[in-house]
Chain A
Amino acid sequence: MSSQRNQAGADGVDLSALSTRGLDKSFGSLIVAKDIELALPQGARYALIGPNGAGKTTLINLMTGMIRPDRGQIFLGADDITALAPAVRVKRGLVRTFQINTLFPHLNALEAVTLAICERCGYAGTWWRKLPAYGDAIEEAHAILLSLQLGAHCYRATRELAYGQQRLLEIALALATRPKVLLLDEPAAGVPQGESAELFSVIANLSRDIAVLFIEHDMNVVFRFANRIIVMVGGRILVEGTPQDIAGDPRVREVYLGGARHG
Chain B
Amino acid sequence: MIASAFGVLFDGFAYGMLLFLLSVGLSVTLGMMNFVNLAHCSFAMLGGYVTVTLTNSLGWPFLATLPIAFLAAAVVSVVLERVLYRRLYRATDLDQCLLTIGIVFISVAVAAYIYGTIQQPLNLPSYLRGTVSVMGQNLGVYRLFLIGMSLLATVVLVLALEYTRFGAKVRAAVDNQRMARGLGIDVDRVFAMTFALGSGLAGLGGALAIEIVGLDHAFAFTYLVYVLIVVAVGGLGSIAGSFAAATLLGISDMAGKYYFPELGAFLIYFVMVTLLMWRPMGLFGRR
A–B touch (CB < 8 A): the answer is no
Q: Which of B's residues lie within 8 Å of A, judged by CB?
A: none
Q: Which of A's residues lie within 8 Å of B, judged by CB?
A: none
